[in-house]
Amino acid sequence: MDLLLKNIGLLATPLGSVAHRGKDQNQISLVEDAMVGIKDGKIVYAGKAGGSMNADEVVDCGGRLVTPGLVDAHTHLVFGGWRQKEMGLKLQGMSYLDILKSGGGILSTVKMTRGTSEEDLYQKGKGLLWTMLRHGTTSCECKSGYGLSLADELKQLRVARRLAEAGIVRLVPTFLGAHAIPEEYKENRQAFIDLVVNEMLPVVAREKLAEFCDIFCETAVFTPEESEYILGKAKALGFGLKAHVDEIDPIGGAEMTAKMGCISAEHLIQASDQGIKDMARAGVVAALLPATSFYLDKPYARARTMIEEGVAVAVATDFNPGSSPNLNLQLPMNLACLKYKLTPAEALCAVTLNAAAAIGRAGTIGTLEPGKAADVVVWDAPDLEYIFYRYGNNLVNTVVQGGRVYKN
């Protein structure tokens, strides 16, 4: 064996390789006095301590809590600049969509991303990934959507590919060309939709630069009908589907994700009862983003209703320079308990197994079981409740990613 994590006070993990819905989301395995054995970057044993195991490297967990590495199923990781200059507008009461309509918001990040070189975007992304890793995130999804031209979307996705190859955090790339209508197409939105469908999607598919296609389905951005059209074209090219829906206004986005067979639907703050039922029937994972509700001072998605209706709930950061400039998944974990009223067990599942399912990785990450990737967090915590109860500082003691050990 390459690595042994011994003296684990409590090993807490969901089990299995499919998203947990309904009452199952609350079912996790809790083993006291445990150990985890790792070989070739994979878990070979996770359970009760005992027997003698020889390992090249031993980490003494000192009686601490151990969980699977966190999976951040929704990030906009690659972008130029930041948006601190919009803080003043926000404080004066200007809304997220008003800032976007006036050419700021996403569009200001588009300008800065177009103006940043591939190498600079890569270096910045690497720094962000190291920070995420130190906060316990061992896998993340990463969206494009700040290029909004063929060349600039490809640039962002090439950066994502290089970041994946850097091997810091496991990374799953998503094409979000339909994130906003860029300034140069303001008077001709159909021409931009044609560009996404006829030029961007085929090249991204051919160059295998993204696994999923996402869209911002929202008032003044893309309608549910336009979303169906674009996602339908993406599906035909082999992309898995995701969509940002019903974040600000209830416009039938959740229903649309069920109809299109999306793997996940994002935000869902205003999702209708029917939309939630449709998602449960179609098996769409709800990727909820409570740090965005916090940051935009908006209501919180109806996570309890979703769980009661049988929707698998995942929780992610939505890390982006506008509505969620935070890449520490521990804050949304706190909010999942405090605002969504999830139990610690449900919330753990939401940032591990269900998050893995939201990005098509439930078979390989998200639980501590033999055969899965050796992605593990050792927490400065004696039990599971503690990491949801404490907040505001980093509670990670040690992270193992792909069998490599990083001590904080």
Q: How far is the CB of 4 from Zn ion (least distance, A)?
A: 39
Tokens of 45: 């044993």
248-277 footprint of ligand IZC as x/- string (CB under 6 A) = ------------------------------
Only one of the segments 101-109, 132-140, 151-159, 341-349 lies at the binding site for ligand IZC (rule: CB under 6 A); that segment is 101-109
Distance CA(248)–CA(222), nearest Å, equals: 13
In the set 37, 68, 69, 105, which binds ligand IZC (CB under 6 A)? Answer: 105
Is the Cα torsion angle 72, 128, 162, 169 positive or negative in sign? negative
Q: What residues from 314 to 333 belong to the interface with Zn ion (CB under 5 A)?
A: 318
Between 106 and 400, CB nearer to ligand IZC: 106
Contacted entry of Zn ion, ligand IZC, none for residue 106, CB cut-off 5 to 8 Å set by kind? ligand IZC
Among ligand IZC, Zn ion, none, the one that 212 touches (CB under a kind-dependent 5 to 8 A) is none
Q: How many CA atoms lie within 13 A of 12 on its CB side?
A: 28
Measure the CA–CA gap between 103 and 183, rounded to whole angstroms. 7
Q: How many CA atoms lie within 13 A of 155 on its CB side?
A: 20
- According to CB under 6 A, which one of 20, 64, 76, 170 is a site residue for ligand IZC? 76
What is the closest distance, in whole angstroms, from the C-beta atom of residue 323 to ligand IZC in the complex? 4
Q: At what angle do helices 253-260 and 224-236 cross, to 10 degrees?
A: 20
Stretch that binds ligand IZC, among 17-25, 104-112, 157-165, 224-232 (CB under 6 A): 104-112
Residue closer to ligand IZC (CB basis): 158 or 244: 244
CB closer to Zn ion, 37 vs 322: 322
Least distance to Zn ion, CB of residue 69, Å = 21
- The token duo for 54 is 């020889």
Shortest distance (Å) from residue 228 CB to ligand IZC = 18
Nearest-10 crossing angle of helices 150-166, 106-114: 80
Q: Write down the residue that tokens 């091997």 correspond to.
A: 167
Number of amino acids touching ligand IZC (CB under 6 A): 10
Q: What residues between 34 and 73 interact with ligand IZC by CB under 6 A?
A: none
Minimum distance, C-beta of residue 216 to ligand IZC, in the bound complex (Å):
5
Q: Of residues 45, 122, 192, 216, which one binds ligand IZC by CB under 6 A?
A: 216
- 106 contacts ligand IZC (rule: CB under 6 A): yes
301-340 binders of ligand IZC (CB under 6 A): 320-323
Strands 170-178, 212-217: pairing kind: parallel
Instruction: Tell me which of Zn ion, ligand IZC, none is bound by residue 216, counting a contact when its beta carbon lies within the kind-specific cut-off of 5 to 8 angstroms.
Output: ligand IZC
Q: Quick one: 43 or 329, whose CB is closer to ligand IZC?
A: 329
R_g over Cα of the chain: 20
Q: Which is nearer to ligand IZC, 37 or 105 (CB)?
A: 105
Nearer Cβ to Zn ion (255/318): 318
Cβ proximity of 379 and 7 under 8 Å: no
- Which residues fall within 8 angstroms of residue 278, CB to CB, at 6 or more apart? 254, 255, 258, 259, 284
Residue 135 touches which member of Zn ion, ligand IZC, none, C-beta under 5-8 Å by kind: none
Min dist CB 50 to Zn ion, Å, is 45
Burial of 34 (0-12, 13-18, 19+ CB in 10 A): buried
Residue 114 CB, nearest distance to ligand IZC (Å)?
Answer: 14
The CB-of-86 to Zn ion minimum distance in angstroms stands at 17
The closest alpha carbon to 178, from 146, 203, 206, 136, belongs to 146
The stretch among 124-132, 219-227, 310-318, 390-398 that binds Zn ion (CB under 5 A) is 310-318
Interface ranges with Zn ion (CB under 5 A): 318
Site residues for ligand IZC per CB under 6 A:
76, 105-106, 109, 216, 244, 320-323
